[in-house]
Amino acid sequence: MSRILVTTPIPAPGMDILERAGQVDVRRLDYDGLRRASASGHYSVIVSQLRDRFDAPLLRDSSLIGISNYAVGFDNIDVAAATAAGITVANTPGVLTDSTADVAMLLMLATARRGVESDQFLRAGSFTGWEPELLLGSDVSGRTLGLAGFGRIARATARRALAFGMTVMFCPRPPGDRVVADDELGEFAGRVQHVSWSDLVTDSDFLSLHVPLSTSTHHLVNADVLAAMQRSAILINTARGPVVDEAALVTALRDGSIAAAGLDVYEHEPALATGLVELPNTVLLPHIGSATVSVRSEMARLCALNAAAMVGGVCPPHPVNP
């Protein structure tokens, strides 16, 4: 019977499928342990998490046939090296689009309206009654949202923002200026504006990141970009931490070069850049974009179906290798 290594148990709908597909071992491993397990010949498939790093040296020595990542993102896996080693990589697309867009919206509202600060103020016993100028924030409706990227999650965020009365612009593949034809815009044709990366940076009231992490998007938001943003602008990141130079962000927030940041992901997750937690103009969430009961169950089901297909020797429903 095929052996499947699961590095962290996934919700029951996924574990049930895995247990029917092969012999399942659950073992949380560090990089060296993962490397030994991949090369051991014991396992045909690994069900992995974002923290499991599969780099070229590990993949070169591996005897795996597949890796099923419990996430839509797969920047923890060197897919080119996996492909060269004959290893299929699969992910869980589609099912976390709306939940992640909800968190982008949550961060926009919470930063603009000082939601967390207000909650802390009240819990600290400081609320002595309604005041004309207590905890004033900024509006969301009537302001401009700039979307870096225009994939599924960006579009779901655009849908929400339009319903809130925002103006929406996007740059599909920053920092490049790929042109999107009107017929690719579907329901958004005439409702959102296609702009260059530099215009998105300078003209957004909220700049929300929806790009995968790659060599071209690493530190896409760096000190220069932060300096070019409006002083009243708010940065939202539900994509991947390293898309932002977090040390530069702390400086920009401290100096007032931008107004606030709402973050769900961090450059060196789970560690945070020095000084970030002390800043009152931040809302910081622990990577919960997909964290609803139904979404995580559906991710588990997709992830397990991918793994079961691989152990059965067929192409998984959601492969990411070219």
Residues that bind ligand DGY (CB under 6 A): 71-73, 96, 289-290
CB nearer ligand DGY, residue 225 or residue 320? 320
Residue 33 is which amino acid?
G
End-to-end alpha-carbon separation of the chain, Å? 29
**Could you confirm whether 269 is annotated as catalytic?**
yes
In angstroms, give the least distance from the CB of 292 to ligand DGY.
10
Candidates 185, 183, 102; CA nearest to 169 is: 185
CB nearer ligand DGY, residue 69 or residue 167? 69
DSSP-assigned states of every residue in 67-118: EEESSS--TTB-HHHHHHTT-EEE---STTHHHHHHHHHHHHHHHHTTHHHH
Q: Which of 143, 240, 296, 318 is catalytic?
A: 240
And the tokens for 102?
């909800």
In angstroms, give the least distance from the CB of 96 to ligand DGY.
5
In angstroms, give the least distance from the CB of 255 to ligand DGY.
30
CB nearer ligand DGY, residue 172 or residue 289? 289
In angstroms, give the least distance from the CB of 191 to ligand DGY.
27
287's torsion region: left (phi>0), alpha (psi -120 to 50) or beta? left
Residue 207's Cβ-count burial label (10 Å; 0-12, 13-18, 19+) is buried
The strand pairing partners of 66, in sequence order, are: 45, 88
**Could you confirm whether 240 is annotated as catalytic?**
yes
CB nearer ligand DGY, residue 70 or residue 197? 70
Candidates 37, 31, 29; CA nearest to 4 is: 37
Candidates 182, 267, 252; CA nearest to 217 is: 267
102's torsion region: left (phi>0), alpha (psi -120 to 50) or beta? alpha
In angstroms, give the least distance from the CB of 135 to ligand DGY.
31
85 Cβ neighbours under 8 A, 6+ residues apart: 59, 60, 62
How far does CA 174 lie from the centroid of its chain? 16
CB nearer ligand DGY, residue 96 or residue 195? 96
In angstroms, give the least distance from the CB of 167 to ligand DGY.
27
Write out the catalytic residue numbers: 240, 269, 287
